[in-house]
């Protein structure tokens, strides 16, 4: 029997705020343990939560970007359970009245068919727990509460994904969208984006859902894909062996490449949700929500469509250029100023992305403003610079931040088109390579390339190749 | 000792007729005396004459330097020990917080200090404010100043007893189901529970967050009202504290009873009510009528469900509020070799019996399969109870008058074996908390030397009307 | 309704309370007596359409990011029953020693 996987994802995203969800402590990453804490996030007796306006605004923006219905009234509830890094003995989260419901995100289909439409079930606001370190002090758990109370949204999808690859593709799209919306920095290493997956299998073509398991602790998109593949295979093996999948939570062990059942849930969980009596309803102003909707940036799908339309770029280029909003904006600025989208695209996709990859830095750190790159494109278009020299000039621009003309000027890199100078280089090369000249004249045509190379070398790359080649031929045939 | 009324006391301190230092020292001497000997009053869990003296000296110095004096300049005030103070421990009468020192002041405490009050100590209470007798304190009971064999009521028994014994002119308590009004009645002082959201709960250790309010004690309506005035008002640290202006309660004190419509809900005069209390209530209503008030019988039919409703909602919220006491970050920790054992042992040794009982009851009321039947239903009944009050007040009734308690102060141990019998001590007071309305208890007489309290209730945010009626009744009773 | 001893034990575990046998016995009895009274609410019949009361029927104020956290007069290290290297420290979960990390 053929099996099909059914996957739904729960994604926790840290919102880009300066302070915590319910108190004014900093959310700065990497501070000394237990320094960004106050009565509220320490869960001290008598402390009370107050909702962070910026967190609400970012949550609303994310919900609008995912096409959700944003609810005018949502309610914070308490999820009660004990854990050393949960200071109050409950987490404040939205439960039966979430911020938003019913969105969608389309993911390109790797098989080339129609895009996969992944429905978003809900988005809700909540606070993060602290961090427990179980191996720092022997036999003890060490608790750092700097993270406790950091604002999160949880995005829950419907079980619309059918393979680990699709799940990964969805996450790539989601991250791209959230970055466009400037809702989160989505840095998995810093824990600002975390993914849990619900997985089940069923006979291909069946409409029923099988028993699902939950897989946690996957700290990269690649690991999500691996963990899901592992778990799907495991479930298929269980069913093929005549067994039944048990509903449970599994932890992905990256080092061993396997997902193992979590044992710390000693008794069945009963979270005893109830509305947090410390927090009245979160009521959004309809006008403000509409203003937020109107203020959304152009989203990836719309941008890609426009790039196709406006610049006539190939699909691959569009994919690369729109992967991040910053790169897309940079490309557009260069294209506008250079008046040549194709050239702008080529430069961004090669030189600019190479710099970003090499330096592992975002484009905003690139010392070359779009105007400078546009000037460089102009200098190659009018023949002042050869492509090779232009790449060298770009490297200098990326080091110094100088405009290209200045670099060309101070380093004398402009292409030499002065006929007298070119003739002199030709003459010198012919004189120095008498033997090769003889061979060429005897009919060995490929020697021409060698001689051209010598001219370029002598000119340190600056000789205008078209002119130099004409003059060389002229000299050889004379 | 006897303090003059707060207004006079502050006027004397401001005019230099007496100093803050003398006033505070007198209070501290009285406390020291009351808390020593073979049968200490047991009203204070902590007091510190030296610290109080230095605070008082600062006030005197400021007055001498001509700085503006606050409305409570130099007034010694006691604070219930579930309200956070940085300079005294905050134990909630619980072993689990023995020695705990809050790193921040409650908003109400901060406002007291800003008004020039000097906090002379922290008062005894039923553990985490759960109880009606102050017998549930881990640090021993408080005695009723009128009869040391009887309870002072609770849970704010320490604050009520301290004011009744003349140790301080005024004190803060907290009222979740009657914890200010019931001990005020038992001790023969005035206690006010404001509208939910009138006073910030920031720094009040939560028992049942949707019911808790800090309240005030004084020997007179004017004193309790002045203290309330000072601690009221919006607070950005408490999302449930209303952004509303605070009414001028001193103006309300000057008004009389003429034209006042006083509703008397018949459900608050059941057969179980001590007939001697009923008699005093009737007498008080006569006085009010003679002073020009219109007395109107009304009905609040859902009152009979109030105790059941309260004893689901309050424990449910408490079970969650008290989860933070786990021995990890502060407070008492029992030795154990793993996390869960630390939790279980710390909580089992740290909490007293009544607290554990309510945690179990509340956990049950919220648990899967029972949530809708108990917690959900109780919250709906609560809506009905609140609506009923709204309707009565909308019908032209200014205030309601009821007895504060169904019985006289009872003896120690009399009810400790039967939790439900103890819960019935709150039968007339829990409705105000469920409906979020302001309520006040004032002395209306005595039976065999034991004080009896009458309760007034008003519509939400109508503290001014409440205080006006109480002052008028107080006046009418004095005129005799 | 009546709760059994086992139910009370389960609830106590959920609330992280350790009860002795006699405590458990007494609590079960008391709880049943309280529930007997509390069950009077059933008399009111269906309350369909009556909203649940609570904080949820008001509107929460929102905090601007400029607001500062309340200062701690006493540092967390002085509050903690066990504090090492800047961390709150507590004995590990038993489950972790059963091989989970």
DSSP string, A184-249: ----GGGTSEEEEEEEEEEETT--S----EEEEEE-SHHHHHHHHHHHHHHHHHHHHTT--PPP-E
| DSSP annotation of B376 | I
Residue A249: beta bridge partners?
A214
Which residues does chain B have within 8 Å of residue A277's beta carbon, measured at their own beta carbons? 208-210, 240, 317
Rounded to the nearest 5 degrees, what angle is found at the Cα of B239, between the Cα atoms of B238 and B244?
Answer: 90
Q: Which of residues 63-82 of C touch B (CB under 8 A)?
A: 63, 67, 70-76, 79-82
Mean pLDDT of C22-49: 93
- C96 alpha-carbon distance from chain centroid: 24
Mean pLDDT of B49-77: 95
Q: Which residue of C has its CA nearest to A142?
A: C89
Q: How many residues would you count in chain C?
A: 101
Which residues does chain B have within 8 Å of residue C34's beta carbon, measured at their own beta carbons? 311, 361, 419-420, 423
CA atoms within 13 A on the CB side of B251: 6
| Interface contact flag, A44 B103, Cβ < 8 Å | yes
The single residue of B27, B94, B155, B174 carrying the catalytic annotation is B155
Mean pLDDT of B222-241: 97
Q: Mutation test of the interface with chain A: which of B210, B315, B339, choosing the one with the most A Cβ atoms within 10 A?
A: B339
Contact partners for chain B, using 3 or more CB pairs closer than 8 A, are A, C
Whole-number average pLDDT of chain A: 93
Q: What are phi and psi of B429, to 5 degrees?
A: -105, -25
Whole-number average pLDDT of chain C: 90
Q: What is the pLDDT of residue A264?
A: 55
Instruction: Please check whether residue A143 touches C, CB under 8 A.
Output: yes
Q: How many residues would you count in chain A?
A: 478
Q: What is the pLDDT of residue A267?
A: 47
Rounded to the nearest angstrom, the minimum Cα separation between A265 and chain B is 11
Question: What distances in angstroms separate CA B221 from CA B80, B157, B185, B253, B469, one per listed residue?
Answer: 19, 18, 13, 8, 10
Which residues does chain A have within 8 Å of residue B201's beta carbon, measured at their own beta carbons? 46, 48
- Which residue in the set B103, B319, B366 is minimally distant from A39, CB to CB? B103
Distance CA B264, CA B202 (A): 35
Q: What is the pLDDT of residue B480?
A: 65
Q: Which of residues 17-56 of C touch B (CB under 8 A)?
A: 17-19, 23, 27, 30-31, 33-34, 37-42, 44, 47, 50-55
Distance CA B36, CA B42 (A): 9
pLDDT in tens, A173-184: 999 999 999 999
Residue C62: beta bridge partners?
A51
Instruction: Please check whether residue B84 touches A, CB under 8 A.
Output: yes
Q: What is the pLDDT of residue A334?
A: 96
Which has the closest alpha carbon to A453: A443, A465, A438?
Answer: A465
Mean pLDDT of A336-350: 95
| DSSP annotation of A137 | S
Does residue B461 register a pLDDT over 50? yes
Least confident of B199-213, B266-280, B410-424, B465-479: B410-424
CB B208 within 8 A of CB C53: no
Q: Which residue of C has its CA nearest to B333?
A: C81
CB B213 within 8 A of CB B175: yes
| Interface contact flag, C92 A23, Cβ < 8 Å | no
**Residue A432 CB coordination number (10 Å):** 12
Which residues does chain C have within 8 Å of residue B328's beta carbon, measured at their own beta carbons? 81, 88, 90
B133 is an active site residue: no
Does residue A412 register a pLDDT over 80? no
Q: What is the pLDDT of residue A22?
A: 98
Does residue A277 register a pLDDT over 70? yes
- Which residue in the set A33, A44, A50 is minimally distant from C61, CB to CB? A50
Does residue A87 register a pLDDT over 90? yes
Distance CA C87, CA B153 (A): 42
Neighbour-count burial for A221-231, b at 16+ CB within 10 Å, e otherwise:
bebbbbbbbbb
Distance CA B453, CA A358 (A): 81
Instruction: Please check whether residue B98 touches A, CB under 8 A.
Output: no
Distance CA C91, CA A142 (A): 9
Residue B341: beta bridge partners?
none
| Interface contact flag, C16 B361, Cβ < 8 Å | no
CB A44 within 8 A of CB A148: no
CB A42 within 8 A of CB B329: yes
Residue A305: both structure tokens together: 């469509």
Does residue B391 register a pLDDT over 90? yes
3-state DSSP of B67-81? CCCCCCCCCEEEEEC
Q: What is the pLDDT of residue C95?
A: 76
Helix (H) or strand (E) holding A282: strand A282-283
CB B316 within 8 A of CB B375: yes
Distance CA B22, CA B10 (A): 13
Q: What is the pLDDT of residue A263?
A: 64
Band (B407; pLDDT cuts 50, 70, 90): very high
Rounded to the nearest angstrom, the minimum Cα separation between C64 and chain B is 10
Distance CA B112, CA B231 (A): 7
| DSSP annotation of A350 | I
The single residue of B179, B319, B346, B441 carrying the catalytic annotation is B179
| Interface contact flag, C65 A17, Cβ < 8 Å | yes
Distance CA B89, CA B463 (A): 32
Distance CA C68, CA A23 (A): 8
Whole-number average pLDDT of chain B: 96
Q: Give SS3 for C93.
A: coil
Band (A250; pLDDT cuts 50, 70, 90): very high
Residue C48: beta bridge partners?
none
How many A-B residue pairs are in contact by the CB < 8 A criterion? Answer: 103
Look up the ipTM and state it: 0.97
CB B431 within 8 A of CB B384: no
Mean pLDDT of B66-90: 96
Q: What is the pLDDT of residue A464?
A: 85
| Interface contact flag, C31 B364, Cβ < 8 Å | yes
Rounded (10°) CA dihedral A280, A286, A289, A293: 160
| Interface contact flag, C56 A51, Cβ < 8 Å | no
Distance CA B333, CA B349 (A): 9
Q: What is the pLDDT of residue B412?
A: 95
Mean pLDDT of A134-147: 95
Band (A266; pLDDT cuts 50, 70, 90): very low
Does residue C55 register a pLDDT over 80? no
Distance CA B284, CA B273 (A): 16
The share of chain A scoring above pLDDT 90, in percent, equals 79
Rounded to the nearest angstrom, the minimum Cα separation between A239 and chain B is 31
Residue B32: both structure tokens together: 């020291």
Distance CA B298, CA B397 (A): 9
- Which residue in the set A42, A46, A51 is minimally distant from B202, CB to CB? A46
Between B436 and A205, name the one with better pLDDT: B436
Q: What are phi and psi of A52, to 5 degrees?
A: -80, 120
Contact partners for chain C, using 3 or more CB pairs closer than 8 A, are A, B
Q: What is the pLDDT of residue C101?
A: 46
Distance CA B439, CA B178 (A): 9
Mean pLDDT of B15-19: 94
Between A21 and A478, name the one with better pLDDT: A21
Does residue A418 register a pLDDT over 60? yes
B17 is an active site residue: no
The region, left, alpha or beta by phi > 0 then psi within -120 to 50, assigned to residue B399 is beta
Residue B120: both structure tokens together: 């002379």
Q: Please list, in sequence order, all residues whose beta carbon lies within 8 angstroms of the beta carbon of residue B234, skipping any fewer than 6 positions away.
A: B200, B241, B242, B243, B244
Residue A81: both structure tokens together: 């359970």
- Residue keyed to tokens 């078209």: A466
Helix (H) or strand (E) holding A333: helix A325-338
pLDDT in tens, A23-65: 999 999 999 999 999 999 999 999 999 999 999 999 999 999 9
Band (A368; pLDDT cuts 50, 70, 90): very high
Distance CA B3, CA B18 (A): 12
The single residue of B27, B80, B174, B346 carrying the catalytic annotation is B80
CA atoms within 13 A on the CB side of A170: 31
Q: What share of chain A is helix, strand, coil (3-state, %, to 5)?
A: 40, 20, 35
B155 is an active site residue: yes
Mean pLDDT of A281-293: 96
Which has the closest alpha carbon to B370: C23, A93, C31, A279?
Answer: C31
Crossing angle between the packed helical segments A53-65 and A164-181, to the nearest 10 degrees: 130
């Amino acid at each position: 029997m053929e099996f099909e996987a059914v996957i739904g994802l729960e994604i926790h995203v840290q919102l880009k705020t300066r302070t915590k969800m319910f108190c004014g402590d900093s959310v700065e990453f990497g501070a000394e343990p237990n320094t960004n804490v106050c009565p509220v996030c320490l869960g001290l007796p008598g402390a009370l939560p107050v909702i962070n306006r910026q967190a609400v605004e970012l949550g609303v923006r994310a919900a609008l970007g995912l096409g959700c219905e944003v609810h005018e009234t949502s309610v914070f509830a308490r999820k009660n359970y004990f854990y050393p890094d949960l200071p109050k003995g409950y987490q404040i989260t939205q439960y039966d009245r979430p911020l938003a419901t019913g969105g969608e995100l389309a993911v390109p289909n790797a098989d080339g068919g129609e895009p996969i439409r992944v429905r978003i079930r809900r988005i809700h606001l909540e606070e993060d727990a602290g961090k427990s370190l179980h191996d720092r002090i022997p036999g003890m758990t060490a608790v750092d509460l700097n993270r406790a109370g950091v604002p999160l949204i949880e995005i829950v999808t419907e079980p619309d994904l059918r393979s680990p690859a699709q799940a990964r593709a969805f996450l790539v799209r989601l991250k791209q969208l959230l970055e466009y919306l400037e809702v989160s920095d989505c840095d998995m290493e810093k824990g600002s984006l975390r993914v849990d997956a619900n997985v089940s299998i069923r006979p291909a073509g069946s409409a029923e859902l099988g028993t699902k398991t939950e897989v946690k602790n996957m700290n990269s998109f690649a690991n999500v894909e691996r963990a899901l593949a592992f778990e799907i295979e495991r479930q298929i093996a269980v069913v093929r062996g005549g067994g039944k999948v048990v509903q449970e939570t599994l932890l992905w062990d990256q080092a061993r490449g396997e997902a193992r059942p979590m044992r710390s849930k000693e008794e069945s969980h009963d979270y005893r949700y109830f509305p947090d009596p410390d927090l009245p309803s979160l009521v959004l102003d309809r006008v403000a929500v509409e203003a937020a909707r109107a203020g959304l940036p152009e989203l990836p799908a719309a941008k890609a469509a426009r790039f196709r339309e406006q610049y006539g770029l190939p699909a691959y280029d569009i994919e690369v250029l729109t992967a991040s909003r910053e790169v897309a904006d940079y490309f557009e600025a260069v294209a506008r100023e250079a008046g040549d989208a194709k050239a702008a695209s080529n430069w961004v996709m090669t030189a600019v992305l190479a710099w970003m990859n090499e330096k592992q830095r975002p484009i905003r750190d690139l010392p070359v403003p779009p105007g400078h790159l546009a000037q460089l494109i102009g200098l190659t278009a009018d023949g002042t610079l050869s492509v090779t020299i232009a790449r060298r000039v770009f490297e200098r621009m990326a080091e110094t931040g100088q405009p290209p003309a200045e670099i060309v000027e101070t380093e004398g890199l402009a292409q030499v088109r002065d006929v007298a100078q070119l003739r002199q280089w030709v003459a010198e090369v012919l004189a120095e390579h008498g033997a090769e000249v003889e061979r060429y004249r005897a009919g060995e045509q490929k020697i021409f390339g060698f001689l051209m190379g010598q001219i370029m070398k002598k000119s340190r790359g600056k000789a205008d190749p078209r002119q130099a080649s004409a003059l060389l031929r002229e000299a050889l045939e004379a | 000792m006897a303090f003059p009324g707060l207004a006079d006391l502050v006027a004397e301190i401001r005019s230099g007729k007496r100093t803050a230092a003398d006033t505070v020292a007198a209070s501290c001497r009285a406390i020291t005396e009351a808390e020593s000997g073979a049968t200490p009053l047991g009203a204070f869990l902590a007091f510190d004459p030296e610290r109080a003296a230095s605070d008082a000296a600062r006030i005197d110095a400021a007055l001498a330097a001509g700085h503006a004096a606050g409305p409570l300049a130099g007034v010694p005030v006691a604070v219930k020990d579930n309200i956070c103070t940085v300079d005294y421990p905050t134990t909630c009468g619980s072993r689990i917080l023995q020695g705990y020192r809050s790193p921040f002041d409650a908003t109400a405490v901060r406002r007291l200090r800003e008004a020039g009050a000097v906090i002379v100590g922290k008062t005894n209470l039923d553990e985490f404010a759960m109880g009606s007798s102050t017998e549930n304190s881990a640090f021993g009971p408080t005695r009723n100043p009128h009869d040391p064999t009887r309870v002072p009521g609770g849970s704010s028994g320490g604050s009520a007893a301290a004011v009744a014994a003349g140790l301080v002119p005024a004190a803060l308590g907290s009222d979740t189901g009657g914890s200010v009004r019931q001990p005020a009645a038992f001790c023969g002082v005035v206690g006010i529970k404001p509208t939910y959201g009138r006073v910030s709960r920031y720094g009040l250790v939560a028992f049942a967050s949707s019911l808790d309010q800090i309240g005030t004690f004084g020997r007179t309506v004017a004193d309790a009202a002045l203290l309330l005035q000072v601690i009221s008002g919006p607070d950005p640290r408490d999302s449930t504290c209303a952004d509303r202006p605070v009414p001028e309660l001193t103006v309300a004190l000057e008004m009389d009873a003429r034209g006042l419509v006083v509703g008397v809900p018949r459900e608050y005069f059941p057969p179980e009510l001590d007939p001697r209390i009923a008699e005093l209530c009737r007498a008080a209503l006569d006085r009010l009528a003679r002073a020009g008030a219109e007395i109107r019988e009304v009905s609040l039919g859902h009152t009979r469900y109030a105790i059941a409703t309260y004893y689901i909602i309050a424990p449910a919220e408490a079970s969650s509020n008290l989860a933070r006491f786990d021995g990890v970050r502060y407070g008492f920790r029992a030795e154990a070799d793993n996390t869960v054992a630390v939790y279980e042992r710390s909580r089992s040794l740290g909490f007293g019996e009544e607290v554990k009982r309510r945690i179990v009851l509340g956990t049950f009321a919220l648990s899967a399969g029972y949530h809708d039947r108990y917690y959900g239903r109780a919250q709906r009944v609560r809506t009905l109870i609140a609506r009923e009050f709204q309707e009565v007040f909308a019908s032209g009734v200014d205030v309601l008058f009821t007895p504060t308690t169904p019985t006289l102060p009872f003896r120690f141990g009399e009810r400790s074996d039967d939790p439900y019998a103890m819960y019935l001590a709150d039968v007339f007071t829990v409705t105000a908390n469920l409906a979020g309305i302001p309520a006040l208890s004032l002395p209306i007489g005595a039976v065999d030397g034991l004080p009896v309290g009458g309760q007034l209730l008003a519509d939400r945010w109508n503290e001014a009307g409440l205080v006006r009626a109480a002052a008028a009744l107080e006046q009418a009773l004095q005129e005799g | 309704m009546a709760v059994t001893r086992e139910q009370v034990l389960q609830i106590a575990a959920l609330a992280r309370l350790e009860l002795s046998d006699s405590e458990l016995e007494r609590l079960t009895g008391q709880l049943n007596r309280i529930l007997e009274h509390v069950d009077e609410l059933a008399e009111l019949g269906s309350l369909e359409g009556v909203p649940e009361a609570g904080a949820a029927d008001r509107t929460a104020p929102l905090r601007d990011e400029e607001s500062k956290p309340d200062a701690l007069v006493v540092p967390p290290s002085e509050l903690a029953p066990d504090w090492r290297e800047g961390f709150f420290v507590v004995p590990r979960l038993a489950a972790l020693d059963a091989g989970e990390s």
